[in-house]
Structure 1
Amino acid sequence: MQAAAAWRRHLLDGNISPTTAAAISAFRSASQPALAPQGLGGADGARYMSARAPAVKGTGHLVRKGTGGRSSVSKKFRDSGIIATVFGATGFLGRYLVQQLAKMGSQVLVPFRGSEDCHRHLKLMGDLGQIVPMKYNPRDVDSIKAVMAKSNVVINLIGREYETRNYGFDEVNHHMAEQLAMISKEHGGIMRFIQVSSLGASASSPSRMLRAKAAGEESVLKEFPEATIMRPATMIGTEDRILNRWAQFAKNWGFLPLVDSGSTKIQPVYVVDVAAAIVNSLKDDGTSMGKTYELGGPEIYTVHELAELMYETIREWPRYIDVPLPIARAIASPREMLLNKVPFPLPTPSIFNKDQINAFSVDTLVSDNALTFSDLGIVPHKLKGYPVEFLVCYRKGGPAFGSTVSEKIRSSEL
């Protein structure tokens, strides 16, 4: 009784709503039989843990650890107690999340809708049978149920920062998230649902994508109140879609266009830190359930300052063209107008993505009272240094070319 009272006080101290608190308490009391060694059960035969693994008490100790490394759980890859279906695992954030889940001994189910090549790099992140690619159709309910049938954790990374002829913002960022949450709730054995949204998601945002993300968050919490919402800022890493595109444009054209002089403030974050935050939320005792976390880096940059960091790293002299916001929107508009009017796919937007231009027209920073990395026990990396080291591939003199921009300029003049 004293332990139960302490838990209730803990929930109240965490500012969790009464509905969510009741759901968490009910979940904790019911979790042990749900996780006990068993055969197939749940929706279409959910097998929550290996018969070799002991029952897990409550959400607080969902995670058990192997010794670390790819083969640390070769005989029982469910050593962490997690069988996670990661939607969007073949994307940018997905590869880092799958690696961290696999390293601690989880089995990871990877739904994919493309070719067999799109998930090959993920197979190397776990031992034999630990990473399980599964073909699915995101518009087919039965297909979705099949890929999460044996899971006890669902993580939704699905998102799109530009529209295509087949997939729009609302469907990808809102309705798919709502459907996954609904199916997860019906499943009956999903212990955790994590929805990855975006920093700045708001119904009043000038960006259609961010408005769709906000609607997706609302729908997820309506269907699955215990869900955890993660709002990462612009993510930086080897496969990112911002610094890479800037560097490619600067190398090809000799300059970089900045909308409104790049005065907008952003809080870019290292992608590995975002993956670590998601994993840490699975390791807690349920305190992250029903909460929203805003994941921004430790430093605030203007877009211009971030571009300066890119130029410094690739050892090029910075050259910019200032593009007023109305002109930038006009340059990006033809693709949006023609998107569903021509019988062929249009090129992927690089620099002038109209919705991204709208998103960068306002500051995107972590809120003052928001839950952040520190609440998940993580100290995020500063960008300068290792997180942007991948940009050295754009140095025309090779990775060891110069140590400062001025050194590069002097050497070229000799």
Structure 2
Amino acid sequence: MFLCFLIHGIVATVFGATGFLGRYVVQQLAKMGSQVLVPFRGGEDSHRHLKLMGDLGQIVPMNYNPRDVNSIKTAVAKSNVVINLIGREFETRNYGFEEVNHQMAEQLATISKEHGGIVRFIQVSALGASASSPSRLLRAKAAGEESVLKEFPEATIMRPATLIGTEDRILNRWAMYAKNWGFLPLVGGGSTKIQPVYVVDVAAAIVNSLKDDGTSMGKTYELGGPDVYTIRDLAELMFETIREYPRYVNLPFPIARAIASPREMLLNKVPFPLPTPSNFNLDQINALSVDNLVSENALSFADLEIKPHKLKGYPTEFLVCYRKGGPSFGSTVSEKMGSADVAPRF
């Protein structure tokens, strides 16, 4: 079956393709000549940027409902690869951590196994996923991994660290907050250690795992960047790139949790949607109470023949748009172009 997969090429259904990591996975799959099916549940504009990444008919959008088994079966009917990028970093009135990160992953694995023609299933989880994590999101991710491997034992699990890139949800938010308020709050003094990774490297790892001879099947990879940062170190990098003097307000964990808690308490008690938590996400605050690093003996980028980028420089050039007046006159060509060099669309 795997030889047949290599001969006839990849037809991949990428769930969650319209998200941050998804656009880079789709771009790299299309670049190697694969056909990519893109299930989406939003409006017609949600997938428009993806169609430009391949030739006519190579990127195929498909409207689907994640709670409708038949629409999922239709999305994977002609595929031999399924990649699950579905995830959520905060809860809403309609979708909780358990449903999105655990139950949906289990359902996709079950349907893919029943399909019979799915040779590879890749589940994208998160670094630090554990049943004992203080984060409900990471506990749900761990449960999703367990369920996927139970239903589809040959599945490959990818655990990326905090993703950095043009559309990221950490440096962009910090830079915007610092520009608007003149300072940046550091939860727990910013002493938590993390291992942020360039999003393009994670997409390359996913695609490389499909190029091997099947040796990555049934294995788990922890994908962290080459350098360990404290939250404060990463914030310093952000301030240096946007050319602003670093100003911080240290927030002890109890105070940060108190600021973030009202949204969680009201989430299912009010008849209207609540604002998206950005800098004060209770679950992320809980996750920051422990360091989140690649395990000592874990499979990593090296096992997929990838050397991850250092963050300083090229991967964080997109932050120049937050400088006063935009990129300076003496900026490099890539700085002036912003995200065009970082995230090729064609």
TM beyond 0.5: yes
Residue type of the partner of 1:93?
L
Matched, 1:103 2:43: no
Cα offset, 1:360, TM superposition: 1.1
Q: 1:211 aligns to what?
A: 139
Q: 2:314 aligns to what?
A: 386
Contact 1:136/1:143 (8 A) holds in 2? yes
SS of equivalent to 2:94: coil
SS of equivalent to 2:159: strand
The Cα offsets for residues 340-371 of structure 1, whole Å up to 9 and x where unpaired, read as: 11111011011000001111111000000000
Contact 1:315/1:402 (8 A) holds in 2? no
Alignment of 1:3-402 (within 5 A): 30-31=1-2, 57=3, 62=6, 81-400=9-328
Identity %: 85
Q: 2:338 aligns to what?
A: none
The Cα offsets for residues 148-193 of structure 1, whole Å up to 9 and x where unpaired, read as: 1000000000000100010000000000000000000000000000
Cα offset, 1:126, TM superposition: 0.3
Greater relative CO, 1 or 2 (CA 8 Å, sep 6+) = 2
Q: 1:54 aligns to what?
A: none
CA distance in 1, matches of 2:38, 2:113: 20
Residue type of the partner of 2:129?
A
Measured on the aligned residues, the alpha-carbon RMSD in Å equals 1.1
CA distance in 1, matches of 2:196, 2:22: 18
The Cα offsets for residues 295-329 of structure 1, whole Å up to 9 and x where unpaired, read as: 00000000000000000000000000000000000
SS of equivalent to 2:218: coil
Cα offset, 1:113, TM superposition: 0.2
Contact 1:58/1:285 (8 A) holds in 2? no
SS of equivalent to 1:293: strand
CA distance in 2, matches of 1:178, 1:196: 12
Cα offset, 1:260, TM superposition: 1.2
CA distance in 1, matches of 2:325, 2:276: 29
Count matched residues. 331
Contact 1:83/1:108 (8 A) holds in 2? yes
CA distance in 2, matches of 1:232, 1:128: 31
CA distance in 2, matches of 1:227, 1:143: 22
CA distance in 1, matches of 2:189, 2:293: 19
Cα offset, 1:400, TM superposition: 1.6
The Cα offsets for residues 15-45 of structure 1, whole Å up to 9 and x where unpaired, read as: xxxxxxxxxxxxxxx44xxxxxxxxxxxxxx
CA distance in 2, matches of 1:168, 1:402: 47
SS of equivalent to 2:147: helix
CA distance in 2, matches of 1:100, 1:325: 40
The Cα offsets for residues 374-411 of structure 1, whole Å up to 9 and x where unpaired, read as: 000000000001100000000013212789xxxxxxxx
Contact 1:315/1:401 (8 A) holds in 2? no
CA distance in 1, matches of 2:323, 2:278: 20
CA distance in 2, matches of 1:116, 1:93: 19
Residue type of the partner of 1:193?
F
Cα offset, 1:246, TM superposition: 0.3
CA distance in 2, matches of 1:174, 1:402: 48
CA distance in 1, matches of 2:53, 2:47: 11
Q: CA 1:389/1:113 → structure 2, altered by over 3 Å: closer, same or farther?
A: same
Structure 1 stretches (4+) deviating beyond 4 angstroms? none
Residue type of the partner of 2:254?
P
CA distance in 2, matches of 1:319, 1:401: 26
Contact 1:155/1:195 (8 A) holds in 2? yes
CA distance in 1, matches of 2:269, 2:171: 31
Q: Structure 2: any 5+ residue segments left out of the alignment?
A: 332-346
Contact 1:395/1:401 (8 A) holds in 2? no
SS of equivalent to 1:306: helix
Question: Mean alpha-carbon deviation: is it higher for 354-363 or for 268-277?
Answer: 354-363
Q: 2:339 aligns to what?
A: none
The Cα offsets for residues 194-244 of structure 1, whole Å up to 9 and x where unpaired, read as: 000000000000000000000000000000000000000000000000000
Residue type of the partner of 1:119?
H
Residue type of the partner of 2:181?
W
CA distance in 1, matches of 2:288, 2:77: 39
Cα offset, 1:58, TM superposition: 5.5
